[in-house]
Structure 1
Amino acid sequence: MPKQVDHHERRTLLADALLRVAAERGLMDVSLRHVAAEAGVTAGMVQHYFRTKDEMMIFALDVVAARVQARLADDPDVQGDPRRLVRALLVQLLPLDADRELEGRVAVAFHAYAASRPDVAARLREDTRGMRAAVAAQVRSAPGALDPEIAATGLLSLVEGLAVHVLGGHLDPADALATLDAHLALAFTPAGTPPRAAR
């Protein structure tokens, strides 16, 4: 009886190889051949699943997003109040362990690569809009001192900057978390109320 092939598993295997190669070499230097060598498969197999490099890039973004969602689902803070939920989400974007460091290095590479690739850039904009809307909705549900859209934009921009500084060794992860918590306090504390640190 022929062996059943799990095509999603194969595509995920290739996406994982892409992430590792991209973290080491940057996306501009990644080729289907590099991904095939990293995954231990033939270039023909990679081309069977992905017609172009950009198709593979976009699927890799989906894989990373799914992993972030899975980690959030396992985080008890997600069941808490809006501020705790937003913190749990944003902490997933900081390179605080080996998995998130790999994802962070790839995220930086994706932004550089997207500057000259309209399809990838469009996907990144779509993902960013969705995340901004999700954060703004949580801020809106808990009256704070800041406009929800402004708060969401500021928090996401802050986390991206903190991630770059941690990846570059300019900032300790504990200091990045303390900075994030201070800005969360501003976003979620009603005007006139002294901010309190997140727990």
Structure 2
Amino acid sequence: MPKRVDHRERRQLIVDALMRVAATGGLEAISLRHVAAEAGVTTGMVQHYFATKDDMMRFALNGIVERTTARVEAATGRLPQPVTPAELVRMLLTTLLPLDDERRADGRVGLAFLAYSAVEPGAADLLRDNTRQMAGFLADQVRAAQAAGAAPPGLDPAAAGAGLLAAMEGLSIYVLGGHYDGDTAMRALDAHLGLIFTS
């Protein structure tokens, strides 16, 4: 009886290999041949699942989004209840900062995808949608804090949410580049949060 093939598992094997190649060599190092070698499969097998490099890249980008979402959901589940907007925002942004090996690898690939999105409309659309959702969620938490008297009433929630997201992204770049260590990044993040959430 022929062995049953788990196609989803094989696709994930290939995408995991792509992520390792991208984390060490950047997106310019990615090719069907390099990814096949990293995955320990043939180039023909990679082409069976992904007709082009762009197909593979879009699938991998979705994989990063899913992995990040799962990481955030797991961290959210560990928070003691009830949770304040300030605590929720701090947890979210801290979870996204590249403060361990796994998040650093994802962060390097994420930065590479950001550059890739400049020339690939499909990737750009996905990244823009994620940015809108994240900034919107942060703005909602600022509004909730304002309603509870824990953020300045005159603060523009949308601008504050965008600023929080930009602060986290900027700190991530500096951590990935070795300019800041994790403690410095967390102190800077907490200082920024302190300007928005008053209690």
Is the pair's TM-score, using the shorter chain for normalization, greater than 0.5? yes
Task: Tell whether 2:157 aligns with 1:148.
Answer: yes
Task: Tell whether 2:189 aligns with 1:180.
Answer: yes
Secondary structure at 2:136 match in 1:
helix
Which amino acid in 2 is paired with 1:136?
Answer: A
Q: Distance in 1 between matches of 2:2 and 2:157?
A: 55
Which amino acid in 2 is paired with 1:100?
Answer: R
Matches within 5 A, 1:156-195: 156-189=165-198
Q: 1:142: Cα distance to partner?
A: 1.4
Q: Which residue does the alignment assign to 2:117?
A: 114
CA gap of 1:135–1:36, structure 2 versus 1, over 3 A, is same
Question: Which contiguous aligned blocks of 4+ residues in structure 1 show a shift greater than 4 angstroms?
Answer: none
Q: Distance in 2 between matches of 1:87 and 1:53?
A: 36
Which amino acid in 1 is paired with 2:59?
Answer: F
Aligned partners of 1:58 and 1:123 also within 8 Å: no
TM-score with structure 2 length normalisation?
A: 0.87
Aligned partners of 1:96 and 1:173 also within 8 Å: yes
Q: Which residue does the alignment assign to 2:79?
A: 77
Q: Distance in 1 between matches of 2:117 and 2:80?
A: 31
Q: 1:88: Cα distance to partner?
A: 1.6
Q: Distance in 2 between matches of 1:153 and 1:23?
A: 27
Q: Which residue does the alignment assign to 2:44?
A: 44
Q: Distance in 1 between matches of 2:55 and 2:143?
A: 36
Provide structure 1 residue ranges, at least 5 long, that are not aligned to the other structure: 190-195
Identical counterparts, % of pairs: 56
Query: 1:128-182: per-residue Cα shift (whole Å, max 9, x none)?
Result: 1121112222222211233211111111111111111111111111110111111
Q: 1:3: Cα distance to partner?
A: 2.8
Aligned partners of 2:14 and 2:35 also within 8 Å: yes
Q: Which residue does the alignment assign to 1:53?
A: 53
Provide structure 2 residue ranges, at least 5 long, that are not aligned to the other structure: none
Secondary structure at 1:105 match in 2:
helix
Cα RMSD of the aligned pairs, angstroms, is 1.7
Q: 1:78: Cα distance to partner?
A: 7.6
CA gap of 1:127–1:52, structure 2 versus 1, over 3 A, is farther
Number of aligned positions between the proteins: 190
Q: 1:122: Cα distance to partner?
A: 1.8
Q: Which residue does the alignment assign to 2:67?
A: 67
Which amino acid in 2 is paired with 1:164?
Answer: I
TM-score with structure 1 length normalisation?
A: 0.87
Query: 1:107-132: per-residue Cα shift (whole Å, max 9, x none)?
Result: 11111122222222222111111211
Q: Distance in 1 between matches of 2:6 and 2:30?
A: 25
